[in-house]
Amino acid sequence: MLFSGSIIKGSLDKGMDNMDRRLGSDIMLVPKGSREQAENLLLEGQRGTFYFDGSVDDKVKDIEGISEVTSQCFLKSLSADCCSSEVELVFYDPDTDFVVGPWIETNYKSDLKKDNVIVGSDIVTENGTIKLFGKDYEVVSQMAKTGTALDSSVYFSDESMASVIADAEEKNSFLTEEQKDGDILSSVFINLKDGYNEDDVIRECHAKAGDVFDVVYPKQLNESLSDNLLRITDIVGAVVLIGGILLFGILVLINSVIIESRKQEVALLRVLGNSKSKMALMLISETGAVSLFGSLVGCLLGALIVIPFGRYIGMSLSMPYLGPSFIGASVQVIVIMAIVFLVALVSSILFVFHVTGIEPYLALKKEAE
């Protein structure tokens, strides 16, 4: 319980932190009727096939109060030779992108050329390349794990979009008419200048681009999720705390029964020439060994649940969930084992001193007391 709780809490915190870094815009314009899909995109990185006219970003970029604008286009359900499952293609403008771009740039500093791609952490590459629609692309960087569908995405410069669609058509991949048209966008991300009102800017966007978009507020979504996270982590923290108190209580009870039941054995060993300190060390070592073994088994059982099903836990909580690395989980196991070991020692120490302190004869002849 301690291990599972701490892993869930840590993974939610990490997922939230990750999302916070990923969602860098004040406003996100998405095609009308696509708000829900767009929110899923923000939460879980799941791309949708929603599009509006490719000129929306140009129409709004000069509106007063907007500091920066960038756009992305997603192509979903396109299979790649590299992968057994779907890969999602993201076309973005490396010159203006401030949403995914900085995230990618942590691994890749140069400009993304036309035949270059950046891939998510789950994409398997072969000799540094990936084949899409019969064409090889050089993988110039692989992103860090995000725990979302971003991990199975391939990132292109927007300059590559026309040629990728042409290759897809040539390979008879299914494309909608909109996709074939090519002059499309899925989202426009906007950051505002300080002191400007979101509603005023959105009103002006409607005036310039028409009633073709819905608005999503990533940072508000993030704040709402942060509140949820705080509540969830509070609950998990409370469960871990209660679990810890229960653990201490149970260990006190178990140790009192086990150590008391060994009173005669300890007395006999003392009579046969073993000192009090040696007996105390023996009992404490045994308690420690049992607690270490027990906590290791508990952590492994907990890991069997929270690691394979972590993504589902995140989805059921509607929260971004980024599970621990092997090293992270191992460190967690060591920390939990150390805590349980200490708790076991503290909970047993009084009984150990009580049992080793009894006059051996009185312990051997219980009825004498």
Partner 1 sequence: MLTSENVTYRYKKNKRTILDSVNYSLEEGCFSAVMGESGSGKSTFLAVMAGILKPLEGTVRYNDVDLYELKDKELSRIHRNSICYVPQSNIMLKNITVLENIVNPYLETASDEDLKEKAVSLLEKLGIGNLAGNYPYELSGGELKRASIVRAALMDPKVIIADEPTTGLDKETGNRILSFLSEYAKAGNSVLVATHDEHIEGYADNILRLERS
Point out which residues bind partner 1 (CB under 8 A).
264-265, 268-278, 359-362, 364-365, 368-369
Residue 235 or 289 with smaller CB distance to partner 1: 289
Residue 49 or 274 with smaller CB distance to partner 1: 274
Closest distance to partner 1 from the beta carbon of 359 (Å): 5
Closest distance to partner 1 from the beta carbon of 366 (Å): 9
Closest distance to partner 1 from the beta carbon of 358 (Å): 11
Give the pair of three-digit tokens for residue 212. Answer: 């073709």
Closest distance to partner 1 from the beta carbon of 270 (Å): 7
Closest distance to partner 1 from the beta carbon of 268 (Å): 5
Closest distance to partner 1 from the beta carbon of 278 (Å): 8
Closest distance to partner 1 from the beta carbon of 355 (Å): 14
Residue 327 or 368 with smaller CB distance to partner 1: 368
Residue 231 or 278 with smaller CB distance to partner 1: 278
Closest distance to partner 1 from the beta carbon of 267 (Å): 8
Residue 144 or 268 with smaller CB distance to partner 1: 268
Residue 278 or 354 with smaller CB distance to partner 1: 278
Three-class HEC string of the chain: CHHHHHHHHHHHHHHHHHHHHHCCCCEEEEECCCHHHHHHHHHHCCCCCCCEECCHHHHHCCCCCEEEEEEEEEEEEECCCCCCCCEEEEEECCCCCCCCHHHHHCCCCCCCCCCEEEECCCCCCECCEEEECCEEEEEEEECCCCCCHHHHEEEEEHHHHHHHHHHHHHCCCCCCHHHHHCCEECEEEEEECCCCCHHHHHHHHHHHHCCCEEEECHHHHHHHHHHHHHHHHHHHHHHHHHHHHHHHHHHHHHHHHHHHHCHHHHHHHHHCCCCHHHHHHHHHHHHHHHHHHHHHHHHHHHHHHHCCCHHHHHHHCCCCCCCCCHHHHHHHHHHHHHHHHHHHHHHHHHHHHHHHHCCHHHHHCHHHC
Q: For residues 219 and 99, give the distance between their C-alpha atoms in angstroms, rounded to a whole number.
A: 12
Residue 85 or 277 with smaller CB distance to partner 1: 277
Residue 246 or 362 with smaller CB distance to partner 1: 362
Contacts of 148 (CB under 8 A, 6+ apart): 19, 43, 44, 45, 46, 320
